[in-house]
Structure 1
Amino acid sequence: MREVFQQELAEVQTRLVSISEAVETAIKLSHEALHSSDVQLAEKVIASDVNIDEQVDSLDEYSIDIMARQGPVARDLRIVVSSLRISASLERMGDLARHIATLSRYRFPEEVVPGTLAETFREMGQLDIQIAGLLVELLKTESVDVGDRIRQLDDEVDALHQRVFDVVLSDDWNEPSTVTVDMVLGSRYHERFADHAVSIAKKMNYLATGEWTEAEDDAE
């Protein structure tokens, strides 16, 4: 019975990795769609979010079933409880990638990001892609160092997010109100994507040590 239980816990980790890989693909494609005005890519991201949601729901049901049948304790209980919280963050990250893609679909065939902010959004998108890739690695390895790297990249995303606000609030900003709204929302989506990755890193730290790095997760 113990061997079966350990196999079930390993399956929880496998499913988390699979969901994180789907999220990584979604943010890559949404980034490409945003900067190429490729409506087909945008639609692909939007459609793929349903698959991410289904994977999350399946994992949550599986984790709850494990708790009901096995009555896990100590680290085993942390694994199952953490999986429920991590899956919620991954689901939200998939939603945020979909939101970014939706901006491309709504503005097609026009470009979403004006020239004054194009490079800033490219940098934010590339950072989110790096973070998503590190998140896959983190869920595979439970490496504290990888979690620390995610938090460092999140600081860079936060700085770029602030830069967007500085630009749209400056006297030189002359774009229509619709563009202003898109930029504020788009920047917020990128920033929150990174925040949820940090939240997962904190949960993985809890899984490894039994202690939270902070009293409360900012992304929740």
Structure 2
Amino acid sequence: MREAYNVELDNLRDQLADMAALVGEAMELATRSLLEKDLKLAEQVISDDVKVDDARAACEEKAYALLALQAPVATDLRIVVAALHAAESIERMGDLALHVAKAARRRHPNAVLPEEVRPAFARMGEVDVRLAHKLEEVVRSRDIEAAKSLEADDDEVDDIHRNLFSVIMSKDWAHGVSAAVDITLLGRFYERYADHAVSVARRVMFVITGRMPNHSSSDI
């Protein structure tokens, strides 16, 4: 019985890791659709979002079944509770990639991004995708040092996001209010995506140590 139960816990972990892979691909394609004005890629991200929603539902169903049927305690209970929180955060990452793709579709065939901010969004997209890939590995391995390493990538996204405000508030900004609003919202999507990845990594640390790392406002 215990062996079968451990298999179920491992399956739950693998489902979460697979979700991280899905949202990493979603953000990669969404960023390309934004930078390349590629409507087909935007539509793919939008239509594929249901896969992330279904994956969350499957994770939650398994977690609730384990709670009801196995009454886990100690580390096992932490695994199941952390999985419920993680599934929600990873699904939210998928939603944020979806928002990016919808912005690209809404402005098509026009470009959403003025030339001077394109490198910033290209870099934020690159780092967000890297975070998702790291998160996938962290969920599978439960490597506490790897989990901690996500913080540095999140800091980089935060720095780029803050710098965007200086660009759009500059007296040299020549693209109007509408473009500034688009950039503000898009920058927030990328920043929150990174924040959610870190939040899940902290849940993994909680499973390993039994202690929840200090939270910042970005985890809310």
Shorter-chain TM-score above 0.5: yes
Cα distance in 2 between the residues matched to 1:24 and 1:215? 24
Q: CA deviation at 1:133?
A: 1.0
Aligned-partner SS, 1:109: coil
Name the structure 2 match of 1:50: 50
Cα distance in 1 between the residues matched to 2:184 and 2:93? 18
TM-score (normalizing by structure 2): 0.97
Name the structure 2 match of 1:34: 34
Q: What is the one-letter code of the residue matched to 2:176?
A: P
Cα distance in 2 between the residues matched to 1:3 and 1:130? 34
In structure 2, the CA distance between the partners of 1:165 and 1:215, relative to structure 1 (3 Å rule), is closer
Q: What is the one-letter code of the residue matched to 1:96?
A: L
Name the structure 1 match of 2:198: 198
Aligned-partner SS, 2:212: coil
TM-score (normalizing by structure 1): 0.97
Q: CA deviation at 1:213?
A: 1.1
Q: CA deviation at 1:219?
A: 2.3
Q: CA deviation at 1:216?
A: 5.9
Instruction: Confirm or deny that 1:91 pairs with 2:91.
Output: yes
Once the two structures are superposed, the pairs formed by residues 1-220 of structure 1 within 5 Å of their partners are 1-215=1-215, 218-220=218-220
Structure 1: runs of 5+ lacking an equivalent? none
**Identity across matched positions, percent:** 36
Q: What is the one-letter code of the residue matched to 1:183?
A: I
Cα distance in 2 between the residues matched to 1:25 and 1:218? 23
Cα distance in 1 between the residues matched to 2:215 and 2:96? 25
In structure 2, the CA distance between the partners of 1:60 and 1:156, relative to structure 1 (3 Å rule), is same
Pairwise CA RMSD:
1.1
Q: CA deviation at 1:61?
A: 1.1
Q: What is the one-letter code of the residue matched to 1:143?
A: D
Deviation beyond 4 Å, 4+ runs, structure 1: none
Q: CA deviation at 1:215?
A: 4.6
| C-alpha distance after superposition, 1:79-115 (max 9, x if no partner) | 1000000000001000000001111100101111101
Structure 2: runs of 5+ lacking an equivalent? none
| C-alpha distance after superposition, 1:54-74 (max 9, x if no partner) | 110111011001100000000
In structure 2, the CA distance between the partners of 1:185 and 1:9, relative to structure 1 (3 Å rule), is same
Cα distance in 2 between the residues matched to 1:127 and 1:58? 28
Contact 1:199–1:217 (8 Å) recurs in 2: no
**Residue-pair matches, total:** 220
Q: CA deviation at 1:147?
A: 1.5
